[in-house]
Amino acid sequence: MVAHLTMILLIYFLAAMAVHAMHQRYLSRPDPEGYEQILLIPSNQEQRIEGIVRALCRELFYRGKSFTLTVVADRTEAETVRIIEKLMLRQGMELSYLSAVPTDMEQGNQTGNHSIRLIDLREPKQ
């Protein structure tokens, strides 16, 4: 009976090690698509911005992509930008700023080896 339980535990242990090794191999594989540039327009989202930025970082980490985050904001959104700065500092990443979205980037163009994603949190105009 003890021998059977030991064998079952050994099999479970080896299976867990195999899954862990395959996952590490997947994470270490370079992404052929390069990196992604994120343009974020926060528009006074102090209550939601932390969850949004964390979800974005988590998604890109699990996809194995490196990224840069550029915040498009003016002075009225200072509190939202401060929250984003704090989160990116914890992640060990730099943050860049723009005062307006460049017209050639508004469509979410894909150029060269990287893509640009525009995340617009402004309220839709009616």
Q: How far is CA 88 from CA 27, 28, 57, 84, in A?
A: 21, 22, 9, 6
Same-domain check for residues 19 and 67: no
Q: Are residues 9 and 66 in the same domain?
A: no
Domain residue limits at 25? 1-30
Please give the Cα distance from 16 to 19 (Å, whole number). Answer: 5
- The answer to the question of residue 60 being in a domain is yes
Say whether both 52 and 19 belong to one domain. Answer: no
Same domain, 16 and 39: no
Report whether pLDDT(81) > 70: yes
**pLDDT recorded at residue 2:** 92
On whether the CB atoms of residues 45 and 121 are closer than 8 A, the answer is yes
Tell me the sheet residues that pair with 69: 38, 95
Render pLDDT for 9-44 as a digit per residue (tens, 0 to 9): 999 999 999 999 888 877 766 555 667 888 888 887
Q: Is residue 91 part of a domain?
A: yes
26 with 52, same domain: the answer is no
Does the pTM of the predicted model rise above 0.85? no
Are 50 and 88 in the same domain?
Answer: yes
